[in-house]
Amino acid sequence: MTEKLAGHLLVDCLIAQGVAHAFGVPGESYLAVLDGLHARQDTIRFITCRQEGGAAYMAEAHGKLTGRPGVCMVTRGPGATNASIGVHTAFQDSTPMVLLVGDVASDCRDREVFQEVDYQAFFGPSTRGFAKRVERIDDADRIPEYVARAFATAMNGRPGPVVLVLPEDMLTRMTAAQPLPRVEAVQAWSDPGSLRILRELLLKSERPFVIAGGGGWTPQAAQALQRFAENWRLPVGNAFRFQDTFDNHHPLYAGDVGIGLNPKLAARIKVADMIIAIGPRLGEMTTNNYTLLQAPRPKQKLVHIHASAEELNRVYQADLAINATMNAAARSLEVLTAPINVPWEQWTLDANADYLANLTPDKLPGDIDMPVIVGLLQKHLPPDAVLTNGAGNFASWVHRFYKHQGLAKGYKTQLAPTVGAMGYGVPAGIAAAIATGRVVLTMAGDGDFLMNGQELATAVQHGAKTIVVLLNNGMYGTIRMHQEREYPNHSSGSRLHNPDFAALACAYGYVGVRITRTEQFEDELLAALARPQGTLIEVILDAEVITTRTTLSAITRQALAAKT
């Protein structure tokens, strides 16, 4: 049997798992893998990134879009630690991902050689860790086994990241091993007894509410969820930054359950007598710091459906815990026999009415009207456009005012970090453009953009067109907001002296423009959609416009009044 370099075998194993793109920064520790990528460049593309954090974000975004592990390749030490932010994002966002780390040679280990890191200790799996599994491949003949297991682990149960460590000398050995077949995620089905109990609980309910989100959703699962909600006339809210799980245009939609939560929706969840949580972990953001549902025992009856048995009853003690993957759970729920009439018809209608009323903007100062700008995005972006963002108050504009059709229509349209990681939006948008070829709109803040804005060079090099709408208010806005609430008029560390963003975008090969008034935006958006290259639209936002509901000065006044 013909032998080949282990680095080449690794590439063949990735191709066998259906990998078409790998994101990374090259390093001398995995030159044999890079050579294997060169040999198979007709089948798999290596996307050369500018920093490992951006590469890891791209891989995570790819995993969110496709449902299969996004692949990131980095070198040892600083390369791996730079990539850790993307691994942590994949862990908390329940996204399948595989990080491949080129490592020091086996005969040099444990001497603190150049860039040596203990990856098991650094990434090691735990309930508060980075990765689901961390493994080192010392035997080239076992590469197929490790790669197949990494993909299975990343997809099965609660999806998440896996780290494979690749000693440099192992990658240069010859091996006759062959790739293993493509692995698929295993479906865990709801047991019939639990479904009967769920139906009984629903029949006794007067104010039920569904929260849907988390990892593992497909268009088929989202469509089955919609049929379940329609059969039972249930109000549905999407968990934090999973706003494309349930169609926002649907008359059963009640809004997103996350940061900047509609106060009426928060009150509705608190007085609900039954919560059916399908997919989300019910973390801090979705539960509003564990106040919408009290931990560990909610006042509402709680049915928690999750793909991971370890996640069930970990934070919240559920009245009914069901271990099922989203495809299986939703398809089981859609055939659950509903009564002809339900007592919560008006409850559901009111929930949707509250959502629609929340689309009416609050009056805020300045020459930029952000609800109008988001309305223009809604008007001109195609329904399958992918919207990406990082972390910051700037993201709340699209979260509150943009309506996703999403997965029920056949495509994922939101890429956003539930972990709250800054710098995510730009690289995630580039990955989406490469993977889908669809229109991609990234909403960024000034501080957020500067964390990974250099990846615009990656976009230009690899022909990925994105449109970046950059809201520049000269500060780390979220931090400044919290400072004014806790320490009014004591701003420290949150002000920014920014570059000329439009000129910076041009330097990378994008078109860069700046607007200062709302009426300038539509023409620039239409021009960006029409031109072949990417565009950055810098929007100068009044520093007073700190949230979608209030101003910085109002927050300061309220904080000072509370202290007197």
Q: What is the pLDDT of residues 49-60, one digit of tens each?
A: 999 999 999 999
The pair of structure tokens assigned to 276 is 């059916």
Phi and psi (nearest 5°) for 321? Answer: -110, 130
Q: Which residues pair with 511 in a beta bridge?
A: 535
378 and 312 fall within a common domain? no
**Could you give the CA distance from residue 15 to residue 8 in angstroms, rounded to a whole number?**
11
What's the one-letter identity of residue 98? V
**Could you give the CA distance from residue 39 to residue 33 in angstroms, rounded to a whole number?**
10
103 and 40 fall within a common domain? yes
CA 299 to chain centre: 30
Number of CB atoms found within 10 A of residue 316's CB: 23
CA 544 to chain centre: 28
Is the four-CA dihedral 173, 174, 177, 178 of positive or negative sign? Answer: positive
Side-chain half-sphere CA neighbours of 284 within 13 A: 5
In a domain, 186, yes or no: no
In CATH, what number is assigned to the domain containing residue 492? 3.40.50.970
In CATH, what number is assigned to the domain containing residue 343? 3.40.50.1220
In a domain, 363, yes or no: no
Of the candidates 175, 204, 236, which is a domain's last residue?
175
* Contact (CB, 8 A) for 439 and 377: no
Q: Which one, of 234, 158, 149, 231, lies nearest residue 183 by Cα?
A: 149
List, in sequence order, the alpha helices (H) in 113-218. 119-123, 143-155, 168-171, 192-204
Q: What is the DSSP letter of 157?
A: S
Q: Which one, of 312, 321, 402, 314, lies nearest residue 355 by Cα?
A: 402
**Could you give the CA distance from residue 473 to residue 541 in angstroms, rounded to a whole number?**
5
**Could you give the CA distance from residue 45 to residue 426 in angstroms, rounded to a whole number?**
20
Helix axes 263-271, 345-357, angle to 10 degrees: 160
| Residue ranges, the chain, pLDDT below 50 | none
19 and 111 fall within a common domain? yes
In a domain, 333, yes or no: yes
146 and 290 fall within a common domain? no
Sequence-distant (≥ 6) Cβ neighbours of residue 349 within 8 angstroms: none
63 and 203 fall within a common domain? no
The residue behind tokens 């080192």 is 136
Sequence-distant (≥ 6) Cβ neighbours of residue 432 within 8 angstroms: 61, 65, 386, 388, 415, 438, 440, 466
Strand runs (DSSP E) across 16-160, as ranges? 21-24, 45-48, 70-74, 97-103, 133-136
309 and 381 fall within a common domain? no
* The pairing of beta strand 174-175 with beta strand 4-5: antiparallel
In a domain, 184, yes or no: no
Q: Which one, of 108, 170, 160, lies nearest residue 134 by Cα?
A: 160
Number of domains, the chain = 3
Number of CB atoms found within 10 A of residue 406's CB: 25
Kindly list the distances between the CA atom of residue 113 and the CA atoms of 99, 110, 119, in Å, as whole numbers in the listed order: 22, 7, 14
**Which residues constitute the domain of residue 311?**
192-357
What's the one-letter identity of residue 484? E
Residues constituting the chain: 564
In a domain, 440, yes or no: yes
**Could you give the CA distance from residue 59 to residue 432 in angstroms, rounded to a whole number?**
10
The pair of structure tokens assigned to 94 is 């329940």
Q: Which one, of 413, 515, 430, 420, lies nearest residue 464 by Cα?
A: 430
CA 427 to chain centre: 12
137 and 47 fall within a common domain? yes
Kindly list the distances between the CA atom of residue 123 and the CA atoms of 80, 88, 98, 166, 249, in Å, as whole numbers in the listed order: 10, 9, 12, 15, 40
Query: What integer pLDDT is reported at residue 279 of this predicted model?
Result: 97
First to last CA, the chain: 82
Q: What is the DSSP letter of 116?
A: -
410 and 526 fall within a common domain? yes
20 and 167 fall within a common domain? yes
392 and 333 fall within a common domain? no
**Could you give the CA distance from residue 127 to residue 98 in angstroms, rounded to a whole number?**
18
Q: Which residues pair with 302 in a beta bridge?
A: 275
Query: What integer pLDDT is reported at residue 129 of this predicted model?
Result: 67
In a domain, 182, yes or no: no
425 and 489 fall within a common domain? yes
329 and 407 fall within a common domain? no
In a domain, 183, yes or no: no
Q: What is the pLDDT of residues 433-481, one digit of tens each?
A: 999 999 999 999 999 999 999 999 999 999 999 999 999 999 999 999 9
Of the candidates 130, 147, 175, which is a domain's last residue?
175
Of the candidates 175, 202, 226, which is a domain's last residue?
175
**Could you give the CA distance from residue 153 to residue 185 in angstroms, rounded to a whole number?**
9
Side-chain half-sphere CA neighbours of 538 within 13 A: 23
142 phi-psi bin (left φ>0, alpha ψ -120 to 50, beta other): alpha
